[in-house]
């Protein structure tokens, strides 16, 4: 619906890639609906994935011994985080929906995107103990993981050697998004676009565009371990 804000966090090195096309379809479809769409293109931005001392501007709370979580939490409260983090947090703050678009690497997200999670979702901004899970600080937001796999759909079932794809989603959807209070829409998975025909890839893109048309009517998944493991 018009007026909704979407942040797409996108991790692929090549604009002409299938992930690039999925990102483009999302931008076009959501913009057509009157949403305002922002893209954080992590490789193009040369986003720093490492959580370091450089994320804190000015004096440390404890200069004797560096504790990243403590230091960045304190820095967040006094407005002393590095500018790239402040920028990303502003985008997150404004967004109604976060879409993560990436190729699956080693049963997980690419390092540059994991680094975005590590650095942007700071204590005090995204969660605060005990304010986590359903009382996480980013509640009232939605998220969606859209990714491609190298393996076919049949490789990610309970019976297969890789196990159910949902096991892989537990650390990302539950351990990060749900922990921060963000509701999670069902993932959008494009299995093995690489060996697929041109025709099949077109169909995958059309299916994504189709889903985006009614995305705002979707109910989030049940955020319990049953969804993942039963």
- pLDDT digits (tens), the chain, 230 positions: 889 999 999 999 999 999 999 999 999 999 999 999 999 999 999 999 999 999 999 999 999 999 999 999 999 999 999 999 999 999 999 999 999 999 999 999 999 999 999 999 999 999 999 999 999 999 999 999 999 999 999 999 999 999 999 999 999 999 999 999 999 999 999 999 999 999 999 999 999 999 999 999 999 999 899 999 99
Pairing relationship of beta strands 142-148 and 188-190 according to DSSP bridges? parallel
**So what's the pLDDT on residue 14?**
98
The pLDDT of residue 2 is 85
Which helix (DSSP H) or strand (DSSP E) does residue 85 occupy?
Answer: helix 83-94
Q: Could you give the 3-state DSSP secondary structure of residue 52?
A: coil
Give percent helix, percent strand, percent coil of the chain, each to the nearest 5.
Answer: 45, 15, 40
Residue 226 tokens read as 């049953």
Cα torsion 115, 117, 121, 122: sign: negative
CATH superfamily of 5-53+84-229: Flavodoxin domain (3.40.50.360)
**Measured distance CA(11)–CA(159) in Å, rounded:** 30
CA triple 91-97-98, angle to 5 deg = 65
Domain ranges of the chain: 5-53+84-229
Whether 189 and 5 have beta carbons less than 8 Å apart is answered as no
pLDDT the model gives residue 77 = 96
Distance CA 173, CA 227 (A): 11
Give Cα 4 distance to the centre of its chain: 18
Q: How far apart are CA 158 and CA 154, in angstroms?
A: 10
Name the CA dihedral angle for 88, 91, 93, 99, rounded to a multiple of 10 degrees. Answer: -100
The end-to-end CA distance of the chain, in Å, is 34
- pLDDT computed for residue 1 by the predictor: 82
Q: Is 160 exposed, middle or buried (0-12, 13-18, 19+ CB in 10 A)?
A: middle
């Amino acid at each position: 619906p018009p007026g909704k804000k979407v942040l797409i966090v996108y991790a692929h090195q090549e604009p002409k890639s299938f992930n690039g096309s999925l990102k483009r379809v999302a931008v076009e479809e959501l913009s057509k609906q009157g949403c305002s769409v922002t893209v954080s293109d992590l490789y193009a931005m040369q986003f720093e994935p490492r959580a370091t001392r450089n994320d804190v501007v000015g004096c440390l709370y404890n200069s004797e011994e560096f504790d990243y979580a403590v230091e960045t939490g304190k820095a967040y409260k006094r407005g002393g985080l590095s500018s790239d983090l402040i920028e990303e947090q502003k985008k997150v703050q404004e967004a109604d929906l976060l879409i993560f678009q990436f190729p699956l690497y080693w049963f997980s997200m690419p390092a540059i995107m994991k680094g975005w999670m590590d650095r942007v979702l700071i204590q005090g901004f995204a969660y605060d103990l005990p304010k986590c899970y359903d009382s996480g600080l980013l509640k009232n937001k939605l998220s969606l993981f859209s990714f491609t796999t190298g393996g076919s759909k049949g490789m990610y079932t309970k019976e297969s050697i890789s196990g159910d794809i949902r096991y892989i989603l537990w650390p990302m959807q539950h351990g990060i998004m749900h922990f921060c209070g963000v509701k999670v829409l069902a993932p959008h998975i494009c299995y093995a676009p690489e060996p697929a025909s041109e025709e099949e890839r077109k169909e995958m893109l059309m299916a994504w565009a189709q889903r985006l048309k009614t995305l705002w009517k979707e109910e989030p998944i049940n955020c319990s371990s049953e969804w993942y493991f039963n």
